[in-house]
Amino acid sequence: MKNLIPSLFLIVAISSCSKKPTSSSAALPDNVVSDKPIVLKEGQSVMLMREGDPDLMIGASVVDGKLSVAEVDPKGRNFGVTWKDSESWTTSTIVSDGTSSTYILDKNGDGYTDFRAENSPTGTHLYELQGEVWTKVKSTEKTSEQAAPSNSDRP
C-alpha cells in the first residue's frame, strides 16, 4: 500500500510528460491545431501574420453574411484595408494617415476605381469617375469650429 501512491504518481507524471501526437499536418504552423478550414460565424474574424513580421497582417471576417478579406499595415498611424465581395466583385480600399482618409471603390470588378471619397479635418469630398475624369459629386466643408474642438469640449 505504501508503494501504491508513489507508483500512481509516477505513472501520472510519465504519461503527462510523454509526447502526444498532434492532429496538424507538417505544412501548418505549430499554433494551428487542425488542417480543416477555419469556419467563421457572423461577427467573427481571424488575423494571420508571418512569424516575426508584425508589419503585415491579413485578416478575414464575416460582415453582413459576406466574407471580407483585409490587408492591414499597422505601421505607425497609417493603415490600409481592402476587402472583396465575391458575389458582386466589389473591391474597396480605405487608407488613412491618422488625420485624413481616402476610400476608393471598384464597383464592377474591372480593376479601376469608380468612386472615391476623401475625408479630412477640413471636410468630405465625394467623386465619381466619368470617363477618365474625376467629377466631384458632393462636398461638405467643415467650419473651423467643427474641425478643431474647443478647450471646453476636451476632458
Asked if pLDDT for residue 136 goes beyond 70, the answer is yes
Is the entire prediction scored with pTM above 0.85?
A: no
All cell numbers assigned to 94:
480605405
Please state, in angstroms and rounded to a whole number, the distance separating the CA atoms of residues 56 and 80: 10
Please state, in angstroms and rounded to a whole number, the distance separating the CA atoms of residues 47 and 69: 10
* Cα-trace Rg, the chain: 26
- pLDDT tens profile 43-102: 777 777 777 776 667 777 776 677 777 666 665 445 555 656 666 556 677 777 767 888
